[in-house]
């Protein structure tokens, strides 16, 4: 589908439920434009009546007042019409962009993890902010303006040709030049605004980096240097934005100027026509006056539409960027899949091959089997594929070939929701959501009671700390504020997982940012949680996995050693070396 068609379809889909609203808007606008164009006639009438009234007060008073009433009614109708149109558009644009926003967020919740891993957060976020903003601005402002101006223009052209064909052509003669000039200016503007955006992006990048790294700047005394580097970048932005602004700001005055010149030509030509056109002098005079009005009015819509063009362009780009997301593949939720229940026997990875992108395979035929209730530890250097295995167990990604089965049944056969209900994860990077600490702990189980929350927090060894805060469990947190240290954040995320009582537990380096004393406490708590549960643990700290039923050593996507701690030490291979380098031995 072409881009234009897609964009049109996008707007159509979101607008179609507001057909009535559009009808109201159009009728109201047509009416108010009509009243606006017609009002001068009534103004003229009332002045005529005024003149009569002065000459003979008694006879003409009623007619004078009647003319005034009519004029007032026309003005009121015009104002009411434009109010109705504007209010209708406000509602349409408000509700339709709200639907877009909700739709976009809903779509995000259905996208695959792969999408998030391969797109920058900032880029996705800007669709919520600037793209939706641009669409809403365009709907709000340009929709009414464009419609009004088009109506006005059509109305004026009709009127002009009705009054005098020659003068109508003269008035319109310069419009091709104006249009070409406008097109040229718009093209130049786009070009220079792009250049300007590039320089501004550069500057923003610099500022962001410097200010985010201010600790380094301060401790190394680099402030002067930072300013020194800032100045040339700022200067380039100044030059680029000046040029961009000149072009984008030029449209209005140039169009105004052309309108002025055009009016001058109309006056001149009208005057010449009056003297040499073989017309009655008084008629010709009237024509000149009328066409001066029209020349001014004729250019107004052109100016307005031209100045709205860039806004319109932004909205189209925004719509395009939104459709990009709406067209993305969604996660397969296996709606008809079987419902997962308790694990009876084992989880089995057989000959699993996987790659994030087609060229580089990460797992080259991995076989791991875990008995129900056992704990398996995955060990290996960075890039060995440990985290990838976790991604597969929760179906964040699917295997390329081979299979992962629970009691012989492929993961992909289970209903996705029911699978994830039974798989609990503690991630490498803990994330807190804006809200209270309690909100964060009950995240996966919103119905949990206070007692359950406290029990989970106690198991995760974070209860005492939470209680020491002034607002306890109701303390407001977000991912950015620093009530919690990195380690403590992880404890909260552990409590969160405990509360969902998962059948299969996956811990991805969950303790690597917690100090060893706290880690030991978690270890103890985790021992209880793990009891009776099947679990995968991925950790740098070998201490956390010494008690594993089975240790699987991965390297470059292959299993190279397998066994319990004692067995692996005896093998005296990779694991044994790792173990020796990490621990303090009695000195």
Residue 225 CB, shortest distance to another protein, in Å, is 8
Q: Residue 4 or residue 433: which is nearer to another protein going by CB?
A: 433
Place of tokens 């391969």: 118
Q: Residue 6 or residue 230: which is nearer to another protein going by CB?
A: 230
Q: Residue 98 or residue 449: which is nearer to another protein going by CB?
A: 98
The two structure tokens encoding residue 179: 């249009």
Q: Residue 44 or residue 408: which is nearer to another protein going by CB?
A: 44
Residue 145 CB, shortest distance to another protein, in Å, is 12
CA angle centred on 88, ends 84 and 89, rounded to 5°: 120
Q: Could you tell me if 320 and 127 are in contact, meaning their C-beta atoms sit under 8 angstroms apart?
A: no
Residue 351 CB, shortest distance to another protein, in Å, is 25
366 bridge partner residues? 352
Q: Residue 149 or residue 518: which is nearer to another protein going by CB?
A: 518
Residue 517 CB, shortest distance to another protein, in Å, is 5
Q: Residue 8 or residue 188: which is nearer to another protein going by CB?
A: 188
Instruction: Give the Å distances, CA to CA, from 587 to 520, 577, 579, 583, 584.
Output: 22, 19, 17, 12, 8
- Three-class DSSP category at 355: strand
Residue 216 CB, shortest distance to another protein, in Å, is 5
Residue 2 CB, shortest distance to another protein, in Å, is 30
Query: Cα–Cα distance between 9 and 179 in angstroms, integer?
Result: 28
Strand order in the sheet with 360-371: 360-371, 346-357, 401-406, 409-410
Sign of CA dihedral 388, 390, 393, 396: negative
Q: Classify strands 476-477 and 435-436 as parallel, antiparallel or unpaired.
A: antiparallel
558, HSE (Cβ side, Cα atoms, 13 Å): 3
Q: Residue 35 or residue 309: which is nearer to another protein going by CB?
A: 35
Beta carbons within 10 angstroms of residue 61's beta carbon: 13
What does DSSP assign to residue 412? G
Place of tokens 């004029």: 71
Of 500, 401, 386, 373, residue with least CA distance to 410: 401
Residue 124 CB, shortest distance to another protein, in Å, is 6
Q: Residue 253 or residue 408: which is nearer to another protein going by CB?
A: 253
Q: Classify strands 375-379 and 534-538 as parallel, antiparallel or unpaired.
A: parallel
Q: Residue 156 or residue 441: which is nearer to another protein going by CB?
A: 441
Residue 413 CB, shortest distance to another protein, in Å, is 18
Q: Could you tell me if 551 and 563 are in contact, meaning their C-beta atoms sit under 8 angstroms apart?
A: yes
Residue 440 CB, shortest distance to another protein, in Å, is 10
Q: Residue 5 or residue 586: which is nearer to another protein going by CB?
A: 586
Residue 125 CB, shortest distance to another protein, in Å, is 6
Place of tokens 């002034």: 470
Of 525, 517, 510, residue with least CA distance to 377: 510
Query: Cα–Cα distance between 424 and 414 in angstroms, integer?
Result: 16
């Amino acid at each position: 589908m072409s881009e234009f068609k897609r964009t049109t379809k996008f707007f159509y889909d979101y607008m179609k439920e507001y057909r009535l609203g559009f009808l109201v808007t159009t009728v109201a606008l047509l009416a108010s434009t009509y009243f606006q164009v017609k009002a001068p006639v009534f103004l003229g009438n009332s002045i005529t009546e005024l003149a009569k009234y002065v000459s003979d007060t008694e006879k003409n008073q009623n007619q004078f007042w009647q003319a005034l009433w009519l004029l007032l009614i026309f003005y009121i109708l015009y104002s009411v019409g434009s109010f109705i149109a504007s209010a209708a558009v406000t509602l349409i644009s408000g509700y339709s962009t709200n639907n877009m926003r909700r739709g976009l967020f809903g779509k995000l919740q259905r996208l695959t993890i792969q999408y998030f891993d391969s797109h920058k957060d900032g880029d996705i976020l800007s669709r919520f902010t600037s793209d939706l903003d641009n669409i809403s601005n365009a709907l709000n402002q340009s929709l009414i303006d464009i419609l009004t101006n088009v109506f006005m223009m059509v109305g004026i052209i009709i009127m002009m040709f009705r009054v005098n064909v020659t003068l109508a052509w003269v008035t319109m003669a310069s419009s091709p030049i104006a249009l070409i000039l406008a097109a040229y200016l718009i093209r130049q503007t786009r070009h220079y605004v792009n250049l300007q955006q590039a320089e501004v992006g550069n500057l923003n990048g610099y500022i962001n980096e410097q200010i985010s790294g201010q600790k380094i700047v301060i401790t190394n005394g680099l402030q002067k240097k930072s300013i020194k580097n800032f100045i040339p970048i700022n200067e380039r932005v100044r030059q680029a934005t000046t040029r961009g602004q000149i072009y984008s700001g030029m449209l209005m005055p140039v169009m105004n100027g052309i309108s002025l010149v055009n009016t001058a030509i109309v006056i001149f030509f009208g005057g010449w026509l009056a003297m040499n056109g073989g017309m009655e002098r008084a008629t010709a005079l009237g024509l000149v006056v009328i066409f001066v009005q029209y020349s001014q009015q004729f250019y107004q819509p052109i100016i307005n539409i031209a100045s709205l063009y860039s806004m319109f362009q932004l909205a189209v780009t925004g719509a395009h960027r939104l459709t990009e997301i709406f067209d993305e593949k969604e996660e397969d939720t296996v709606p008809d899949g079987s419902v997962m229940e308790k694990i009876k026997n084992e989880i089995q990875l057989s000959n699993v091959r996987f790659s994030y992108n087609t060229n580089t395979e990460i797992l080259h035929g991995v076989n791991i089997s875990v008995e129900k209730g056992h704990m398996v530890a995955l060990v290996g250097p960075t890039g060995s594929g440990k985290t990838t295995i976790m991604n597969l167990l929760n179906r964040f990604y699917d295997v390329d070939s081979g299979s992962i089965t629970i009691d012989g049944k492929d993961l992909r056969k289970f209903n996705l929701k029911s699978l994830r209900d039974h798989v609990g994860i503690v991630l490498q990077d803990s994330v807190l959501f804006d809200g209270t600490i309690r909100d964060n702990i009950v995240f996966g189980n919103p119905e949990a009671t206070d007692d359950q929350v406290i029990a989970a927090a106690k198991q995760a060894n974070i209860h005492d700390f939470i209680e020491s805060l002034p607002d306890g469990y109701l303390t407001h947190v977000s991912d950015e504020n620093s009530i919690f240290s990195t380690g403590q954040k992880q404890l909260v995320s552990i409590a969160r997982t405990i509360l969902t009582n998962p059948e299969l537990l996956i811990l991805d380096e969950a303790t690597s940012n917690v100090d060893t004393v706290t880690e030991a406490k978690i270890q103890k708590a985790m021992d209880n949680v793990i009891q009776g549960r099947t679990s995968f643990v991925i950790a740098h700290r070998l201490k956390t996995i010494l008690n594993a039923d089975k240790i699987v050593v991965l390297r470059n996507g292959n299993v190279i050693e397998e066994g319990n701690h004692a067995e692996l030490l005896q093998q005296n291979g990779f694991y044994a070396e790792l173990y020796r380098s990490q621990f303090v031995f009695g000195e």
